[in-house]
């Protein structure tokens, strides 16, 4: 499978616990995005990386959230001290950005990680 891979697919955790999600982008894609989606809503932007550099973070990304992309390959999203309001689908996407042809940049999404905080 050469698509975007996310692990785990489902996570149930107790309130106050820490959780970590992993995203493996399409090989050689230089840009990686994290989004959050709640029921009936469109995906909301959380953060994105260009290679290993985190270029933008949403105000949704509180100090309990942290994302990394060491070595510009896979990425992790950690949520500390989870709250019930964190229950959502967490989506990862990757793109190959050609800086001379940005209009042709297509985003490919993984299957998501469904987080339930009880």
- Contact residues toward other proteins (CB under 8 A) are 4, 6, 33, 35, 40-45, 48, 56, 89, 91, 93, 97, 102-112, 114
What is the spatial distance between Cα 31 and Cα 97, in angstroms, rounded to a whole number? 7
Nearest approach, Cβ of 81 to other proteins (angstroms)? Answer: 26
Relative to beta strand 31-37, strand 19-24 is: unpaired
Task: Report the residue number, 56 or 78, with the smaller CB distance to other proteins.
Answer: 56
CA 65 to chain centre: 11
We find the least distance from the C-beta atom of residue 62 to other proteins, in angstroms, to be 18
């Amino acid at each position: 499978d050469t698509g975007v891979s996310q692990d785990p697919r489902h996570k149930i955790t107790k309130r106050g616990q820490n959780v970590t999600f992993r995203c493996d982008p399409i090989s050689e894609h230089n840009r990686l995005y994290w989004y959050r989606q709640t029921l009936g809503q469109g995906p909301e932007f959380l953060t994105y990386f260009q290679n290993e550099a985190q270029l933008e973070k949403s105000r949704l990304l509180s100090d309990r959230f942290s994302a990394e992309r060491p070595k510009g390959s896979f990425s992790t999203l950690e949520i500390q001290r989870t709250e019930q309001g964190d229950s959502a689908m967490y989506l990862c996407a990757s793109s190959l950005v050609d800086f001379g042809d940005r209009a042709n940049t297509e985003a490919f999404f993984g299957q998501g990680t469904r987080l339930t905080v009880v």
